[in-house]
Amino acid sequence: RDAPLVLGIETSCDETGIGIVRGTELLANAIASSMDEHARYGGVVPEVAARAHLEALGPTIRAALDEASVDLADLDAVAVTNGPGLAGALMVGVGAAKALALSLETPVYAVNHLVGHVGADLIGDRPLETPSVALLVSGGHTSLLLVRDLDSDVELLGETIDDAAGEAFDKVARLLGLPYPGGPEIDRAAVGGDPDAIRFPRGLTRPKDLERHRYDFSFSGLKTAVARWVEQREAAGEPVPLADVAASFREAVVDVLVSKAIAACTDLGVPRLLLGGGVVANRRLREVAEARADAAGIALRIPPLSLCTDNGAMIAALGARLIMAGHEPSSLEFGADSTLPV
Ligand code: KG4
Ligand code: ZN
């Protein structure tokens, strides 16, 4: 049987992503982002995101079909993110997926966004090996997953109990007077800075916290610590060493993310770690992850950045995987669930 031709729709946050795959082969990955519209608010505004998806969906589907040189009529199935994410944004994608599936008389597969991020690693020649630990870090999520089987057995080991890691970058950038999105700005500001200049707190890493929150994350205390440090400097009339603050903040985030991910691999005897999400754009995160995975004998996998940030190709790839593993399609009654568990 030929590998299925699947169109994937991703609208859980501010990216309208339409991807097309044939099995594990990537044919198109078209993206429209409403990021610019959110910039002046310093974060994603749900209503603005939903309206932007509605406007972008048609043209982005068209662009993906053109990129892949396929006709709608050739599709074997449609896959769509139905959660977790922004409710209104998800509904736009789910509605479009059902309309397509109904009119084309194809099955539709509702997929979990976080599992979709792991699905990004299906694309290409070497299939994802399991079991694997996955660390997903973006503006909307910070989650540690144990993937035993991508289409049937994914376990949430831990997640942030407050801000997502990317959100922490965005908030700290803002308090340092840098624009949104904060990740790349902090990266730029950190050039030449000393990552050990200021010892900012590593959330949920004290022995007592580890008992209950071994694989959970917390970044709101770190954000507050940076704010307080800067305020004290300013109150004392001393200049704020921006490069040192940015480098030290970034180090604290990266340190906790990588430590907990490596600990999960070691504890569970899983020698594979996958990274995903927009924060993977952070070079320091990749560097530290590579060094510590290497030292621990863990194989590190990082998909290309275009497949790490939110995209439709990862959703299509997961859909194709479900079909190839013989899963039944979703019934047409499924809804959007902003807090959908893995
Ligand atoms: O995956 P993504 O494009 O969208 C979602 O949030 O779902 O991730 C965007 C997030 C933003 O919070 C942004 O500040 C962060 O990823 N980010 C970075 C970097 N580039 C983007 N964070 C740290 N370092 C970066 N270089
Ligand atoms: Zn995401």
What pLDDT does 38 receive? 87
Q: Give the ligand at the shortest distance from the Cα of 165.
A: 1
Cα(166) to centroid(ligand 1), Å: 5
CA of 182, closest atom in ligand 1: 14
ipTM over 0.85: yes
What pLDDT does 110 receive? 98
**Percentage of residues in the chain with pLDDT exceeding 90?**
94
Measured between alpha carbons, how far is 191 from 145 in angstroms, rounded to an integer?
Answer: 32
**Percentage of residues in the chain with pLDDT exceeding 70?**
100
132-302 in CATH: which number? 3.30.420.40
Mean pLDDT of 240-258: 98
Model confidence pLDDT, tens digit, residues 47-89: 999 999 999 999 999 999 999 999 999 999 999 999 999 999 9
Q: 265: closest CA among 159, 153, 145?
A: 145
What pLDDT does 57 receive? 98
Residue 237 assigned as binding residue:
no
Q: Which two tokens stand for residue 144?
A: 């540690």
Checking if the pLDDT of 1 tops 70, the result is no
Which amino acid residue places its CA nearest to atom 8 of ligand 1?
278
Cα(165) to centroid(ligand 1), Å: 8
Mean pLDDT of 223-251: 97
Mean pLDDT of 11-18: 96
Mean pLDDT of 225-239: 97
CA of 309, closest atom in ligand 1: 1
What pLDDT does 35 receive? 85
Write phi, then psi, for 43 (nearest 5 degrees): 175, 170
Counting ligand 1 atoms within 8 A of each CB, the residue from 138, 170, 338 with the most, and so the one to mutate, is 138
The reply to whether domains 5-123+307-324 and 132-302 share a CATH topology is: yes
Q: 121: closest CA among 302, 325, 322, 297?
A: 302
CA of 184, closest atom in ligand 1: 26
CA of 281, closest atom in ligand 1: 26
What pLDDT does 194 receive? 98
Q: Give the ligand at the shortest distance from the Cα of 173.
A: 1
pTM over 0.90? The answer is yes
Checking if the pLDDT of 236 tops 80, the result is yes
Model confidence pLDDT, tens digit, residues 198-224: 999 999 999 999 999 999 999 999 999
Amino acid symbol at 165? A
What are the residue boundaries of the structural domains of the chain, listed by start? 5-123+307-324, 132-302
What pLDDT does 40 receive? 82
What is the pLDDT confidence band of residue 24, given thresholds at 50, 70 and 90?
A: very high
What pLDDT does 125 receive? 83
C-beta of 72 in contact with ligand 1 (< 6 A)? no
- Summary mean pLDDT of the chain: 96
5-123+307-324 in CATH: which number? 3.30.420.40
Cα(277) to centroid(ligand 2), Å: 6
Model confidence pLDDT, tens digit, residues 147-194: 999 999 999 999 999 999 999 999 999 999 999 999 999 999 999 999
Residue 140 assigned as binding residue:
yes
Pairing of strands 132-137, 142-149: antiparallel
Cα(226) to centroid(ligand 2), Å: 26
CA of 310, closest atom in ligand 1: 1
Which amino acid residue places its CA nearest to atom 22 of ligand 1?
183
Which own/partner contact pairs does 177-184 have at CB distance under 8 Å and 24+ positions apart? Answer: 179/39, 180/38, 180/39, 180/42, 180/43, 181/35, 181/39, 181/139, 183/278, 183/279, 183/281, 183/282, 184/281
Residue 53 assigned as binding residue:
no
Checking if the pLDDT of 318 tops 80, the result is yes
Mean pLDDT of 132-161: 97
What pLDDT does 209 receive? 95
Checking if the pLDDT of 275 tops 90, the result is yes
Measured between alpha carbons, how far is 279 from 249 in angstroms, rounded to an integer?
Answer: 14
Which amino acid residue places its CA nearest to atom 19 of ligand 1?
183
